[in-house]
Amino acid sequence: MSALFSPISLGNLSLRNRIVIAPMCQYSAQDGLPTDWHLIHLGQLALSGAGLLIIEATAVEPAGRISPQDLGLWSDETEAALTALRRSLRDCSSMPVAVQLAHAGRKGSTARPWDGGASVSFGRGGWTTSSASALPFDPEDASPVEMDSNGIARVVKAFRGAAERALNCGFDCVELHCAHGYLMHQFLSPLSNQRQDEYGGSLENRMRLPLMVFREIRAALPQGFPLGVRISATDWIEGGWDLEQSTVFAARLKELGCDYIHVSSGGLSPMQSIKPGPGYQVPFAAHIKRETGLTTIAVGLITQPQQAEEIIASGQADLTALGRGMLYNPRWPWHAAAELGACVDAPPQYLRCEPHGVKDLFKKS
């Protein structure tokens, strides 16, 4: 029995295996609405045989987008569009689908990566960004507005409203984005949060807003409905957010009813110093899992089936997530199942493509 292809539950949601498709921004929405690109992109991933598909960072308000082309869930129109998208995916696949709710904060109002990624002017659809403190992500960026009590209350309300809409859309799970230098991470890290009020200074104060947002989302969802959090375990900068603080944060989230922690790293500052290699973030996930007992997703250059199998079998993490690897090979779970002697869900239209010499690889989804 393959550990990677063993079942697991997140809250009341049962997953058929422990392969997660990580959220990957597509920068292809129009005014927050998904386009045909999303249907094609997510459709192929929904046929991959993974245990869970998490769609890209979805902004809870227009000013929470990274780029003007980001997905959103802040209005009846965006809710209706994502409901239709979710319905289309369900019609063709039984794979559970999660939505990652996010706010970019000071990293918003930027062009798409293939358009250079620079700040977008007001005349081209840009906006004034906000953050924990009036400190830009890059010295050449305009300074964000430091959020006051009204701004904080607005964002908390927006996250709760988006969670309620996510339920209406038919999503099976919600993930709160607290990683990669976006707004929640900006409040957590002492490098981006230099406030002097109850939201800054001590670790307890810096965790205050992310924990408030988590409580509101948790309260908006039914009992047993899975809610997870993605974090950056470290800023990779001396004096910044680190693994010790991440572990404390994860423990607090567990107390509040968090169902899993999705452990990434970095993204807060261009000054970060990262030396990536195979599974380079897995030790962060293993530490948090060991110290808190919280169900943990490991991510980061996990590319080989045997590598993912070992991560699960050795207890370093409970699930593994692939992002770029799934873009490169959308049938990665099929190939992993063949290599590990497991079976995987496949649509009936594809059952006849089972390779010669591989027995019982597919089961009808």
Residues tagged active-site: 182
Q: Virtual CA dihedral for 199, 205, 206, 211, nearest 10 degrees?
A: -100
Task: Answer whether 152's CB lies under 8 Å from 213's CB.
Answer: no
DSSP structure class, residue 350: G
Interatomic CA distance for residues 11 and 237, integer angstroms: 34
Task: Answer whether 65's CB lies under 8 Å from 72's CB.
Answer: yes
Interatomic CA distance for residues 335 and 353, integer angstroms: 12
Task: Answer whether 94's CB lies under 8 Å from 345's CB.
Answer: yes
Concatenated DSSP letters of 222-272: PTT--EEEEEES--SSTTSS-HHHHHHHHHHHHHTT--EEEEE---S-TT-
Q: 177: Cβ–Cβ under 8 A, 6 or more apart, which residues?
A: 23, 57, 100, 101, 102, 103, 184, 230
How deeply is 154 buried, as exposed, middle or buried, from its count of CB atoms within 10 A (0-12, 13-18, 19+)?
middle
Tell me the C-alpha to C-alpha distance, in Å, between residue 190 and each of 58, 60, 151, 238, 351: 25, 24, 20, 11, 52
Interatomic CA distance for residues 172 and 140, integer angstroms: 40
Angle between helices 208-220 and 149-169 (to 10 degrees): 30
DSSP structure class, residue 341: T
How deeply is 328 buried, as exposed, middle or buried, from its count of CB atoms within 10 A (0-12, 13-18, 19+)?
exposed
Q: 261: Cβ–Cβ under 8 A, 6 or more apart, which residues?
A: 228, 229, 230, 231, 250, 253, 285, 288, 292, 294, 295, 296, 297
